[in-house]
Structure 1
Amino acid sequence: MWGLYQNQPAFVLGFHGCDAAIADCIVSGAEHVLKSNKPYDWLGTGAYFWESSPHRAMEWAEDMAKRPSTNPRRVQNPAVVGAIIDLGNCCNLFDSAALDELRNAWDILSLLGMPDGSDVPENKGSTPDRLGRYRDRAVIEFMHELRKQSGLPDYDTVRAAFPEGGELYPQAGFTARSHIQIAVRNPRCIKGYFKPIATG
């Protein structure tokens, strides 16, 4: 009913934490931020960015550098790359219509089960953040499939708030690492990359 307003009319700045060598390759144009397709990616498949928060992107990269990994793209020297993002046709999970669409996808998925016949996965995690968002990913991807089956236009991006990190202070309604995250599904929405300027 309000589909006309799903197209977001402005560019946003997104920030991606990664290794410094990869950041240099991205800014030079040699490669793009890769789409993530992990089973716990809470916004589904896409290239992930923190909206307007190079600080949070750097925190993430620094956290990754502390973890042992055999991945050739592992973070050794934390860095941040910026992106100019056209949100395009956005599943904006700040909007009640998008939330209704996602809930509808859940209602159907919970009745039908996963397309492969398995049970719908659960979100997991030992903290309130529940960083293993297996169910959220399944519902998001099912929502995209429902749109395709209904002949609706694909979403270019998915945008949502993530209340992470526990209470900012006792009884706070704010969390220590709250942020807005964007999953870019359509790479044409990334209009350019840049190296953020660090100031005091």
Structure 2
Amino acid sequence: MPHRQATSFVLGYHGTNRATGEAILAGERSMIRSENSYDWLGPGIYFWEADPVRALEWAEEWCGRKGRADPFVIGAVIDLGRCLDLLSRRSIAAVKAAYESLEDMYRSGRYPGPLPWNKGQTLDFERRHLDCAVIRHLHYLNSTVAGNPPFETVRGLFREGEAIYENAGFFEKTHIQIAVVDPANIKGFFRLPAVPSG
């Protein structure tokens, strides 16, 4: 399932606040893995691939919500390693099969309650409870059931934001996101001289 059919090393950008970012760059603090039930790519440490501008936009939104000052972006060199790469047909097929398995678990009563659901006003679903549950289930199927080595990263393309012109197929905030499941796949951090404006 995981594969190396693409370039293995990529640059990722993580939005945070300056105090946290400086502590990570100084080696005084580790990055914290996100474990929210609505994370778009399941559990992991999140990065925007090759897009420091989008990382800064997110940091500004996040700092505003949390009442924190000084949004900040750090760069990282990431080895995709054993990657569940949702830009490939093979991985998409695996996610579809994991959904069908998860749906069966809920339908049969092996999992209590209703199947999780993505929430949001548009296709941009802000809270991806279903997608997160499916990715978590795929991690379980891959490692525990099939006995394969675990995925080290998950990578996905997301259409987000408004169309950039009438009838466009391109959208303002479309991006590639990476969830690093194994922190050892973050090979190093770097300081950006400046983040260009969008």
2:89 corresponds to which of 89, 92, 96: 96
Amino acid paired to 2:86:
L
Any conservation in 2 of the 1:129–1:165 contact (CA below 8 Å)?
A: yes
Q: CA deviation at 1:33?
A: 2.0
Matched, 1:123 2:118: yes
Q: CA deviation at 1:5?
A: 3.5
> Aligned pair in 2 of structure 1 residues 115, 182: CA closer, same or farther (>3 Å)?
farther
Compute the TM-score of the two structures, normalised by the length of structure 1. Answer: 0.91
Secondary structure of the residue aligned to 1:21 is helix
Shift of 1:112: 1.1
The answer to whether the 8 A contact 2:164-2:170 is kept is: yes
SS at match of 1:164: coil
2:42/2:179 contact within 8 Å kept: yes
1:125-153 deviation per Cα after TM superposition (whole angstroms, max 9, x unaligned):
12330111000000000000001211111
Deviation digits for residues 34-67 of structure 1 (CA, Å, limit 9, x no counterpart): 1101111010000000001111000111112222
Contact 1:8 1:89 (8 Å CA) reproduced: no
Which contiguous aligned blocks of 4+ residues in structure 1 show a shift greater than 2 angstroms? Answer: 3-10
2:155 is the counterpart of 1:159:
yes
**Which aligned pairs between 1:128-139 and structure 2 lie closer than 5 A?**
128-139=123-134
Q: Which runs of 5+ in 1 are unaligned?
A: none
Code of the aligned partner of 1:140: I
Distance 1:103 1:59 in 2: 31
CA RMSD of aligned residues (A): 1.7
Is 1:110 the counterpart of 2:110? The answer is no
> What amino acid is aligned across from residue 61 of structure 1 in structure 2?
A
Give the partner amino acid of 2:28.
A
Match of 2:16 among 15, 18, 39: 18
* Equivalent AA in structure 1 for residue 90 of structure 2: A
